[in-house]
Amino acid sequence: MWETVENFLLSGQRRYVVHIDLDAFFASVEVLLNPELKGKPLVVGGLPHERGVASTCSYEARKYGVHSGMPLRQCYKLCPQAVFVRGNYHLYQAFSEKFFRILHEYTPDVEEASLDEAYLEFTRCRHLYPSFSEAAKEIKRRVERELGLGVSVGAASNKILAKLATRKAKPGGFFELKPGQEQDFLRELDISEIPGIGPKAQVMLRLLNVHKIADLWQVPLGTLRSLFGVMGDELYLLSRGMDCRSLAVEGKPKSFSRETTFLKDIWDRDLLLAHLAYLCDRLALSLRQEKYYARVIEVKARYSDFKTVSRRRVLSLPVQETNRIYRVAEELFLELWEGSRLALRLVGVKGSELVEARHLSLFELYSEREERLCQALDRVREKYGFNALLTVREKMLSEVYEEDRGRGFILKTASLTR
């Protein structure tokens, strides 16, 4: 949680935080698989003519101004000689899991910020490590050795400074910000480096002639508060390298969700429902694997103009069964889409308000049929792969996507965020 400046100044203990980031993660994995790509500009996310954005670009591609989040067409314009690949999400996931397994060996305090990025805190286990920076370097060496991927590491006394240190260390380096160096380090950085200063805030600050972080130091707290409300306190602290956020160490999940962007916009009702059914199937499977029931089901749709709508329902009986989830999701989806029947570029489904046990309802009949069906389904899939058993509706997707018998359809969206 964010604190007021006054509260922050009252606390105060030296912390040891490491930020660690896999360099150009997806692209590096692709190079590892196909060494011929080494040294070439590489864009992961889709083919040049396809819609969607680049999810990662190799450093060679970045030289041409290409960056992640940029539409593929534009990437192609800037760097036509780049190699474009759609990417292999399952593979990245596997690398990511290995990455985190290594990190968890060093400290229990690991925040998995995204697939390729983590914060580690050594404050609690400082007695185990004679040298903080040696420990950080050791982790870096191990990740490089065992994954074969480039990694950048920043070490400092809190999250914001560690992250900024990593940025300085990139690519492939190590940078430790020692106590007392913070001011000089921050002084010349652009305000856009501070997470939380979005485009709007930047405009406001630049109007006040605030460009560098040192300029921000001149702005009184009161002014920041009146400009940004509670965020003002945050900016005041972050710009001084003060950050009391603790690591979001993995606790219990709050929700599970599955979504996908289509290869091209879809308005065919059956094909949309096929996607939805498949996503519900995947969602239900992860709920069952993690032993949760969802009390709330939410469906999301994005139109071709990027307008995004969603609809949710609170259920009296929490669910983890594929059919139960799909029935609700279908109703919700049709409620929000049937009125317009416009083409969509994305659908998603989310289960939240998770519970570990469900209380049956007095006023609704309960039958174990769905539960048993799912148990049987899970057993078959465990043995023969996810796509060994699909509903007719889901099967429609085989006309659109490649199938990996073990892991299901290879959908388009590969996402770095968890």
Partner 1 sequence: MNFSATKNNIINELGLLQGIVEKRTTMPILSNVLVKAGRGSVELMGTDLEVGLKTSFEAEVRQEGKVAVNGRKLFDFIKLLPEDQTIEFIKKEEHLVVRSGESEIKVLTAPEEDFPAIQDSGFDRAISWNVSDFKEMIDCVLYAITQEQRYYLNGALLSIKNNQLELVSTDGHRLSYTRREFEDLRVEKEINQIISKKTLNELKKFDDERVEFDFDDNSLFFRVKNRMLISRIIESKFPNYQAVMPKDNPNILNIEREALVNAIKRVSILSSEKSRGIKFDLKAGELKLFSSNPEFGEARDKLAVDYQGKDLEIGFNSQYLLDFLGTVTSDRVIFEIKDENSAVLIKPEAETKGTYLYVLMPMKI
Determine, following the binding rule CB under 8 A, whether residue 360 of this chain makes contact with partner 1: yes
| Token couple for 1 | 């949680």
Q: According to the annotation, is 270 in a ligand binding site?
A: no
Rounded Cα distance between 17 and 6, Å, is 23
Task: Quote the CA–CA distance of 16 and 22 in Å, as a whole number.
Answer: 20
Kindly give the interhelix angle for 369-384 and 269-289, rounded to the nearest 10 degrees: 90
- What CA–CA distance (Å, rounded) separates 209 from 301? 40
Nearer to partner 1, 366 or 384 (CB): 366
Q: Which is nearer to partner 1, 260 or 320 (CB)?
A: 320
Distance of closest approach, residue 291 Cβ to partner 1, in angstroms: 9
Identify any residues that bridge with 175 across adjacent strands, giving them in sequence order. Answer: 154
Residue type present at position 412:
K
Q: Is residue 184 part of an annotated ligand binding site?
A: no
Active site residue 117: yes
392 binds partner 1 (CB under 8 A): no
Choose which of 124, 141, 178, 359 interacts with partner 1 (CB under 8 A). Answer: 359
Contacting residue, 362, 383, 399, 402, with partner 1 by CB under 8 A: 362
**Is residue 367 at the binding interface for partner 1, with CB under 8 A as the rule?**
yes
Q: Which is nearer to partner 1, 110 or 411 (CB)?
A: 110
CB 373 to partner 1: min, Å: 15
Binds partner 1 by CB under 8 A, chosen from 146, 184, 270, 356:
356
- Minimum CB separation of residue 372 from partner 1 in Å reads 11
Side chain identity at 408, as an amino acid letter? G
Helical pair 322-337 and 269-289, crossing angle rounded to 10 deg: 140
366 binds partner 1 (CB under 8 A): yes
DSSP 71-123: BHHHHHHH-TTSEEE---HHHHHHHHHHHHHHHHTT-S-EEEEETTEEEEE-S
The answer to whether residue 368 forms part of the interface with partner 1 (CB under 8 A) is yes
Strand order across the 83-85 sheet: 56-57, 42-44, 83-85
The least CB distance from residue 317 to partner 1, in Å, is: 10
CA–CA–CA angle 18, 20, 23 (5° rounding): 160
Q: Among 213-221, 280-288, 295-303, 366-374, which window interacts with partner 1 (CB under 8 A)?
A: 366-374
In sequence order, the 6+-apart residues with CB closer than 8 A to the CB of 32 are 148, 149
Catalytic residue among 111, 112, 117, 182: 117
- Pick out residues in 90-119 that bind partner 1 (CB under 8 A): none
361 contributes a contact to partner 1 by CB under 8 A:
yes
The nearest distance, CB 365 to partner 1, in angstroms, is 10
Q: Of 316, 340, 398, 415, which one interacts with partner 1 (CB under 8 A)?
A: 316
Where does this chain touch partner 1 (CB under 8 A) — which range of 223-231, 280-288, 341-349, 361-369? 361-369
Q: What phi, psi does 73 have (nearest 5°)?
A: -60, -40
**What is the maximum span of the chain, computed from C-alpha positions, in angstroms?**
67
Residue 251 or 339 having the CB closest to partner 1: 251
Stretch that binds partner 1, among 140-148, 180-188, 194-202, 356-364 (CB under 8 A): 356-364
Closer residue to partner 1, CB minimum distance, 306 or 363: 363
Q: Which is nearer to partner 1, 6 or 368 (CB)?
A: 368
Gap between the Cα atoms of 351 and 346, Å rounded: 17
| Interface with partner 1, residue 372, by CB under 8 A | no
Assess contact for 206 and 183: CB atoms under 8 A.
Answer: no
Binding mask 61-80 for partner 1 (x = CB under 8 A): --------------------
Exposed (0-12), middle (13-18) or buried (19+): which is 88, by Cβ within 10 Å? middle
**Binding of partner 1 by 249 (CB under 8 A):** no
Q: Give the DSSP per-residue string, 374-403.
A: HHHHHHHHHHH-GGGS--HHHHGGGGTS-E
Please count the residues of this chain forming the interface with partner 1, following the rule CB under 8 A.
Answer: 14
Site string (336-355) toward partner 1, x via CB under 8 A:
-------------------x
Distance, CA of 154 to CA of 77 (rounded, Å):
34
What does the alpha-carbon distance between residue 396 and residue 391 come to, in Å, rounded to a whole number? 9
List the catalytic residues. 117
Residues in binding site for Mg(2+): 21, 116
Footprint of partner 1 (CB under 8 A): 316, 355-363, 366-368, 371
Residues in binding site: 21, 116
